[in-house]
A and B are shown apart, each in its own frame.
Chain A
Amino acid sequence: MDSVITLAGVGLTYPGPPPVSALRDVDLDVRQGDYLAVVGPSGSGKSTFLNVVGLLDRPTHGTYLLDGVDVSTLSERDRTALRGQRIGFVFQAFHLMPYRTATENVALATLYAGVPKKVRISTAHEALARVGLAHRAHALTNMLSGGERQRVAIARAILHRPSLLLCDEPTGNLDSDNAASVLTLLDQLHRDGMTLMVITHDSTVASRAKRLVTIRDGALC
């Protein structure tokens, strides 16, 4: 199977003084359909790792291939476009826009790809159906429960069929019932062939993944 992401000797050092190595010498290969969990205590460099993989931050050394494209040398404009097109983000805090419907929130995913509104709305309805929220499509997000909100966020993240679904503590703000439903949804997406990377410090979340990578002091082990 094809590699979705390939990290080779990737590191990120914040210029000092004193210089801080937030990420050092990371080698990782994630293949299509993988379900990978990255675990580590807080302060271990999980967030930096997520930012680098999610193209939100640029590594200072090493090479990073996303779908075979060396993104470490790309311009900021291309990185931004690639991020929008190839990566789906799921955040702990959901980051949904209040006072707007679930559909509008989901349809935002392809806004910056220039997809016409009608298409965005209809694909948003499909994505919401896929996460089991077809009946809540027109509800304002501030009226939804935590679990529903995270599922809307997941619908937004998968709308544009990303190469990689990047989840940052997806159950961190949820009670155990809602957390379980979200994890079930992730399992289901995995079965459908989605490539998933879940960054967490929660062992129950990590246990669902097929691969487990631990990060400590900015290094994978």
Chain B
Amino acid sequence: MLIAPSRFRLGDVIEESVAGLLQRPMRSALTMLGTMLGVGSFVAVLGLTATAGGQIDKRFTELAATEVTVADVGVAGANDPTMSFPANAASRVESINGVVHGGRWWPVPLDHPAVSSAPGISSHGGELQILAMDPSTVEAARPVLRLGRTFDTFHADRHEKVAVLGSVAASNLGIYRLDGNPAVFIDGTPFTVIGIIDDTGRMPDMLFGVIIPASTAYDLYGPPTEQRAQMLLETRLGAASVVADQVSLALRPDAPDLFKVTAAPDPKALRSKIGGDLDVLFLTLASISLIIGAIGIANTTLVAVLERTHEIGLRRALGARPRHIAAQFLTESTVLGLLGGMIGAAAGITVVVIAALVQGWTPLLQTWAVAPAPVAGALIGLLAGVYPAQRAARIEPVEALRR
């Protein structure tokens, strides 16, 4: 005679498991907590990192990525009064492939200079800075002119006494028009104002300054003293780090150590650096939380197995095979993990969105960080259920049904 073997339909397995979990809803909820926290922290950490990274990307404009600065550090230790940059520094760096503009600048070494728009008036507006710049430095700063023009190599070569004013300096000095050929007087020396800058892409300090050609400043006031000279270079996009490697040698093949070159940091490197430090910590904590969650599920499922010995015996009497019993408890723990993972992922997403909202950022979540979260939870539940399920399957119906 053929005996139809016992079976346990998939739909029935799930239904029986869910019913088993609903017998003790509070306990099931608490059991999920560990997995929820673990999965939630994972999603939140990955989401927050992505969000912060996205924010960096946004702020990291082309302008910042194409900037290289060179500082004149001079001879280490010594109070070196000479300027390390050669007079033709600008043409030297501009010969490097990838450099668009580049030149020297320094604050003119004058102690409280009297700056005014007419001779005899002592000073206007107090703290106006006088900046010495190569014409190419002004270009590299990406000025937006309100009036007139900036000085060029002609002015520089002839050591002309011309000046370009920043918008704040201009209004402090009361200069709004150029048609009368206005001049500024620095300690009595007149400089013809040829342009007024409205805004700059780089070096916003220029808006507060009176900018004169570097060659003229060197003639009149000598090399910089307290604050040493620097160079500002604009490069083509992506060329910054390559240019930075060559600048020192191009400037002074005899003494490249006199300079400290700073290129804009690579945005990718910057982002991974920001991610790196905190991520490791939080992801470790999240992993620990996941392990605790797994242990919690294993523990609760084991307790449930022991508590429901009678039920297991009954099911065996009704024709359930050991594997059917195992399947039921495995499914229960997997469903617990799955629910924990789903709720955790939702909580993690909420945290990311709220954090982004508070900061005024755009929340960013990678699909690969969120989508597998419920699966990960289910997997944890499945693993946690293996031992309790084995125990349940080994229970003998004779023992289980004993009164």
Contact = CB atoms under 8 A, between A and B. Distances in A.
Interface stretch (B3-11, B69-77, B130-138, B261-269): B3-11
A100 interface: yes
A80 B401 contact: no
Given A98-B23, A111-B318, A85 B4 contact: yes
B313 interface: yes
Interface in B1-60: 1, 3-9, 11-12, 15-16, 19, 22-23
B320 interface: yes
Contacts of A91: 314, 401, 403
Interface stretch (A49-57, A123-131, A182-190): A49-57
B101 interface: no
B219 to A, nearest CB: 97
A51 B313 CA distance: 12
A78 B3 contact: yes
B152 interface: no
Contact of A78 (B5, B19, B317): B5
Interface string B346-371: 00000000000000000000000000
Contacts of A112: 6-8, 315, 318-321, 324
How big is chain A's contact interface, by range? 20 to 34
Given A95-B311, A97-B311, A117-B12, A56 B4 contact: no
24 contacts: A56-B316, A56-B398, A56-B401, A57-B398, A78-B5, A80-B6, A80-B320, A81-B3, A81-B5, A81-B6, A83-B317, A83-B319, A84-B318, A84-B320, A89-B314, A91-B401, A95-B310, A95-B311, A95-B314, A97-B314, A98-B23, A112-B8, A112-B321, A117-B11
Interface of A: 47, 51, 54, 56-57, 68-69, 74, 77-78, 80-85, 89, 91-93, 95, 97-100, 104, 108-109, 111-114, 116-117
Interface of B: 1, 3-9, 11-12, 15-16, 19, 22-23, 310-311, 313-321, 324, 397-398, 401-403
Given A108-B318, A111-B8, 11 more contacts: A68-B1, A69-B3, A77-B6, A81-B5, A93-B403, A95-B314, A100-B23, A111-B318, A112-B315, A113-B6, A117-B12
